[in-house]
Structure formats: structure tokens, C-alpha cells
Amino acid sequence: MKSTKHQAPNSREVPNIKLQTNAFTLIELLVVIAIIALLASLITSVGIRVANKKKIARVDSERHRLLTVIDSYHAQMNSYPPDNGMVAKSNDPDRLYAATNQLFYELTGPTYDVANNQYTAFDTSIIKSNEYFRAFNREGVLNGAGGEPKKFYTPLPKPGDYKSNYVDAVQNANVFIVPVDLQGFTINAWRYDASSTNRHNSDSFDLWAIYTVGGKTYTSGNW
């Protein structure tokens, strides 16, 4: 009787399969990381340049607005707004006195209270006549001296367009401010010169801003 070999009915031969895994080498990883870092750096650099250009454009836009308002003042008053009288006596090439100017009052037309000898601005802030003189070296506001003051700056400035207490000890000495800060200055005011002999526009006035963007100082003026 022949003997037969019995195999398990479900038994199969398992082939010897060699599993292959795909993985990045260290060099490949370093290359990818370097590319990502480079792209991030480029994107950041472009973003900073765009933001800086926006700041510069904002200063130029505000300068054009102020120039238009001052020209309107001249057309109706037959003179340009007076500046701080001290600017004519300054030998400073940057004319630092020009940053302490009364354009805010001349262009917005505050009302004068004779009884209390004080001015009330459109935002209800009050400055006494003696404080006005101490701040701006002027006896009073020319706009309105002969009657009802005119509102040249329309629409009226927003709180972000000006700040008070620019001059020490004068709480409500409002000045127009540059929309970009100047490094080292608490308040960066617009500079205005209509009287000195070294101004660029000898037949009219100089209006300019000095401000800092990206660590660089810029000057934006009407010349």
C-alpha cells in the first residue's frame, strides 16, 4: 500500500519579498529646509518693503492735503498762515522751531472768548491767550481776528491727525502730526516756515516732514 504525503489544505509557500522604503537623505532634507528658509526670507523682505512704501505714500498724501488747505487759506486771507516767529531767528539747518507751529489753529478756526481771553478749538479744547503766546510766540490767531473764523481744513481733522501738549507746560497746544514717527521724538509735528530767509520757497512757505522708516530718515517737503 502506497503511502501518500498529506499537505495542509491551506498551507502556501510565502515568497521572499524584499520591502523597499523611500526616505529622504540628510542632504536632501537640508536642501529643502534651505529653500523654505530662503522663500520665507524673500516673502518677509517684500512685505517689509510694501509696508514701508505705504508709510511713505501716507506722508506724501497728507502733505498734499495740507498744501491744498494752506493754498485755500491764502486765497481767502490774502496771506499765508503765520509761522512761529522764532523760526526766522533760528540758525538750525533743520529749523527745529518750525515744528512748533500754529497751523492747527489757523486752518481750523478756533473761536475767541474775549471775557476769558482764551481760544476754543473745534474739539472743545481750550488754550489761554498767554499759553498760546508761550507755545507759538504769537499774540493770537490771525484767522478770525477780523470777524468769524473760517474752517479751511474740511472735513475737520480726526484725533489721529493732531496731538496736544506738544510744548512743555502748555496742555492744549495742538499741532498737526506726521503720520509716521521720527526716531527720538515723542511727537513728530509737521514743520512749517513762512518767514525765515533760508527757506526753499522764498515767495511762499515751506512745509515738510522728517520721519523714520526702516531705520532710515526721510524728508518730504514742498520743494
Between 12 and 29, name the one with better pLDDT: 29
CA-closest candidate to residue 101, choices 12, 199, 23: 199
Find all residues with CB under 8 Å of 110, minimum gap 6, and list them. Answer: 119, 120, 121, 122, 127, 141, 144, 149
Residues 49-71: what's their mean pLDDT?
95
Residues 131-143: what's their mean pLDDT?
93
| Mean confidence (pLDDT) of the chain | 87
Which of 26-40, 50-64, 109-123 is predicted least confidently? Answer: 26-40
- For cell 481771553, name the residue: 117
In this prediction, residue 189 has a pLDDT band, given cuts at 50, 70 and 90, of very high
pLDDT of amino acid 43: 83
In this prediction, residue 45 has a pLDDT band, given cuts at 50, 70 and 90, of confident
Q: What percent of the chain has pLDDT over 70?
A: 86
Which of 38-42, 58-62, 209-213, 217-221 is predicted least confidently? Answer: 38-42
Q: How far apart are alpha carbons 101 and 176 in whole angstroms?
A: 9
Domain ranges of the chain: 45-221
Q: How far apart are alpha carbons 82 and 142 in whole angstroms?
A: 8
Q: Which helix or strand (DSSP H or E) is residue 130 part of? A: helix 129-136
CB atoms within 10 A of CB 48: 12
Q: How far apart are alpha carbons 163 and 178 in whole angstroms?
A: 10
Q: How far apart are alpha carbons 178 and 220 in whole angstroms?
A: 10
In this prediction, residue 97 has a pLDDT band, given cuts at 50, 70 and 90, of confident
Strand-pair partners of 212: 217
pTM of this prediction?
A: 0.77
Find all residues with CB under 8 Å of 188, minimum gap 6, and list them. Answer: 177, 178, 180, 181, 182, 209, 210, 211
Residue 167 has pLDDT above 60, yes or no: yes
Residue 129 has pLDDT above 60, yes or no: yes
Helices (H) and strands (E) in the chain, counts: 3, 8
pLDDT of amino acid 19: 54
Residues 136-149: what's their mean pLDDT?
91
CA-closest candidate to residue 104, choices 56, 164, 179, 185: 164
